[in-house]
A and B are shown apart, each in its own frame.
Chain A
Amino acid sequence: MSHLTEFQTFLLLSILKIAVVLVITLTAVAYTVLLERKVLGRMQNRWGPSRVGPFGLLQPLADGIKLFLKEDLMPLASEKLLFILAPIIALTCALISIAVVPFGAITRITANGISVDMGTIADINIGLLVILGITSIGVYGIALSGWSSNNKFALLGSLRATSQLISYELALGLSLVGVVLRAGSLRLRDIVASQSAHGALSWNIFGGFQIVAFFIYLMAAYAETNRAPFDLPEAESELVAGYHTEYSSMKFAMFFMAEYANMITVACVATLLFLGGPTSPLGNLLPTDFGGPILSAIFPILWFVAKVFAFLLLYIWVRGTVPRFRYDQLMAFGWKFLLPVAILNIIATSLVLALKG
């Protein structure tokens, strides 16, 4: 490998990281769908998918093949270019933000005189802002899909989605300020490091007294990902299917994957900001080099996956429990409750930090 330059080595390792993370994320997306169908099924006293493979484990594969082989319908009166572009924008934006998420501890691999951190794709010092920015671009996918399909249900759905996303983005962004204030940095690794002192006790949700911020983030995240109880953009009882009414085959599948990829991103961000990211909840009870170099690189990833999984289960549980909001309730909740509470949380956190320091 010595005939490669430093830049080529860096490029190869980065592509390797991207490929691995992309494959794992897409598989996770497919199996989150299955998880949701199974768990919802049990909550509603039925089995959920159980025919394809053992326990229905091959169901995502069957769904993928089915969607791939379906006829791709295109309404005659649609804006062709934007109609095709919209699902691509939605899925791309949903997948890009995973690039700045640190999955594991800092695991440096030195090859060819260049040392690359294998625990994350890109360690950017404004990682949090990048995630927020990409999420705000994702609105275009939904807005354009509704407008370009030239269908009243799709347009209504996308108008609802756009205004809901813009409204809840404020509460979402402001709820994160308290965490950023405590960490003193926008880099996700620093935010994780600021919670790693005493295991679960120093996580922002417990020891950091950011449980209010976590609550606001949780509510805003449900709204940002168009999930129940805020799934008005695709309320099937009023709008057929909302913004993706006219989409079929793989274009519909892309919206579907984008929704679940967004769920996973939101779960990753919640894990990093409030639940200590890849750090162990046991803190220093275990020695740092527990189980040798390989196991101590794998354990943080397992913790991270476990926390994300727990957050996804919470998502599904809420969907199975809470009825849908009315649209005026949704707007009033976002603007009149979440936003003021988020601002109060910022003031309280900064006062405490100023008095302590």
Chain B
Amino acid sequence: MQLALFIIFGLLAVAGAINFLLQRHPINSALSLVVVMMSLAVLYWSLGAEFLAAAQVIVYSGAIMVLFVFVVMLLNAGEEERTHGSRAAYMAGVPGAAAIFCLLSFIFLSNGRAFGSTDLTNHLTNAVNNIAEISQVLFRDLLLPFEVTSILILVAILGAVVLARKEQ
């Protein structure tokens, strides 16, 4: 079951990502990104991280991507012109991407055992309530970093308000 979910939604995520690059219209690209986010949420869920999955859907697909679509709609962005791309991108990008891909697959294949594996079915049937675990980590063990992050976000909100406010 987990394997079937992984194959279906992994392929969907990859297809969405490729479609994101190939689409000419910004709205279609944004929607492909939504598909990628949702498939990732399903993958998180199948790994037993249901809180992360729900947060992924609510925050990324439900809030951030809606804002993206909203802005594209407001600006009425048209279709993009396709360019041939710069030569430097081909010279450096293609070998670079290939090198990173080879390096990562080499590491994962050679040291796969050292990363450890998770027994998914066991994890799911035991039904560990990982909301309790996450909240203990967030609000007890990592309380200071959590509060500092929230202050950082508050500063960002205040900055946005100051920037958006009309001059008196």
Contact = CB atoms under 8 A, between A and B. Distances in A.
B51 A126 contact: yes
B50 to A, nearest CB: 5
Interface string A156-172: 00110011001001000
A169 B131 CA distance: 22
B66 interface: yes
Given A132-B58, A136-B62, A125 B73 contact: no
Interface stretch (A58-66, A137-145, A321-329): A137-145
A136 B63 contact: yes
Most chain B beta-carbon contacts within 10 A, residue among A125, A134, A166: A125
A124 interface: yes
Contact of B34 (A140, A147, A166): A140
A143 B73 contact: yes
Given A139-B62, A155-B73, 11 more contacts: A129-B51, A129-B54, A130-B54, A133-B61, A136-B61, A137-B62, A147-B27, A147-B69, A166-B63, A166-B67, A169-B62
Interface in B25-47: 27, 31, 34, 38
A133 B127 contact: no
A136 B56 CA distance: 12
Interface string A88-126: 000000000000000000000000000000000000111
A226 B61 CA distance: 21
A126 B54 contact: yes
A125 B62 contact: no
Size range of the chain B interface in the assembly: 20 to 34
Interface residues of A, number: 26
Interface of B: 27, 31, 34, 38, 50-51, 54-55, 57-58, 61-63, 66-67, 69-70, 73-74, 127, 129, 131
B54 A162 contact: no
17 contacts: A79-B27, A82-B31, A125-B50, A126-B51, A126-B54, A129-B51, A129-B55, A133-B62, A136-B61, A137-B61, A139-B62, A143-B66, A144-B27, A147-B73, A158-B73, A162-B70, A169-B63
Contacts of B57: 133-134, 136-137
Interface string A297-314: 000000000000000000
Given A136-B58, A137-B61, A125 B66 contact: no
A189 to B, nearest CB: 13
A79 B69 CA distance: 15
Contacts of B73: 143, 146-147, 155, 158-159
Contact of A140 (B50, B55, B69): B69
A219 interface: no
